[in-house]
């Protein structure tokens, strides 16, 4: 593993700027990896690690940078809980550790650097030097992963009875003997523009 400073520099380069979330994410990653016995997450241990992240904020980029886990490799799992927390799972041993950032660390940062008036700058500097115990709550947890959620090739693909699009990784919904995608069965985040309206827009 690279040093904290080197890992932070890599993460900042990927994320685009230095912020408290970057420092927390790097520190969180180092703690989680150490506790579950992963020493080379982007090298020889890369197939042993899955990370569950509970927030889509700056720290997530740091977690991805340090661990090498990603959505595309199915080794980074996004759980939309809105919490500054992540769980690190060692697939070879089954050991999993959940790391949660402590809310009181924000106040501690102010106390450590009272002369820095920008609270984010104070947090950046404080989070670099605070102990793991001051920054995080950790707990050993049990994580069970379904076969269809594991990295690797999809086991099968099925076609939605309504839209005709294909679904993989067992995300389909079966009702009355038919198979549907979640968008058709439960509603989607998008509304499809009617073809004739779309054509008029593109032509006009």
Res. 72: pLDDT tops 70? yes
pLDDT in tens, 96-147: 999 999 999 999 999 999 999 999 999 999 999 999 999 999 999 999 999 9
DSSP label of 128 = H
DSSP label of 90 = E
Per the CB < 8 A criterion, the answer to whether 88 and 32 are in contact is yes
Q: Which helix (H) or strand (E) holds 129?
A: helix 119-129
Region 81-102 average pLDDT:
98
Angstrom distances, CA of residue 71 to CA of 68, 75, 146 = 10, 6, 16
* High-pLDDT (> 90) share of the chain, %: 92
Region 170-183 average pLDDT:
96
DSSP label of 72 = T
Write down how long the chain is.
Answer: 204
* Average predicted confidence (pLDDT) for the chain: 94
Domains of the chain: 4-146 (3.30.1330.130), 157-203 (no CATH)
**58-67 and 20-36 are packed helices; what angle lies between their axes, rounded to 10 degrees?**
40
pLDDT in tens, 138-166: 999 999 999 999 999 998 999 999 999 99
Report residue 155: phi and psi, to 5°.
-70, -35
Per the CB < 8 A criterion, the answer to whether 66 and 16 are in contact is no
Q: Is 175 helix (H, G, I), strand (E, B) or coil?
A: strand
- Per-residue pLDDT band for 1 (boundaries 50, 70, 90) equals confident
Q: What pLDDT score does 202 carry? A: 45
């Amino acid at each position: 593993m690279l040093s904290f400073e080197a890992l932070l520099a890599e993460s900042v380069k990927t994320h685009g700027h230095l912020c408290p979330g970057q420092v927390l994410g790097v520190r969180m990653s180092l703690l989680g990896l150490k506790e579950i016995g992963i020493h080379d997450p982007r090298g020889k241990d890369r197939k042993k690690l899955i990370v569950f992240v509970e927030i889509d904020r700056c720290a997530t980029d740091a977690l991805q940078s340090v661990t090498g886990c990603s959505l595309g490799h199915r080794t980074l799992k996004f759980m939309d809980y809105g919490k500054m927390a992540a769980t690190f799972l060692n697939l070879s041993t089954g050991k999993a550790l959940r790391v949660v950032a402590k809310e009181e660390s924000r106040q501690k940062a102010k106390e450590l650097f009272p002369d820095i008036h920008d609270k984010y700058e104070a947090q950046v500097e404080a989070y670099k030097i605070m102990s793991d115990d001051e920054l995080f709550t950790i707990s050993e947890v049990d994580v069970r992963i379904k076969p269809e959620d594991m990295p690797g090739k999809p086991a099968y693909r099925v076609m939605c009875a309504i839209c005709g699009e294909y679904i993989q990784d067992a995300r389909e919904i079966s009702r009355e003997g038919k198979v549907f995608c979640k968008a058709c069965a439960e509603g989607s985040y998008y509304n499809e523009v009617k073809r004739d309206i779309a054509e008029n827009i593109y032509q006009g």
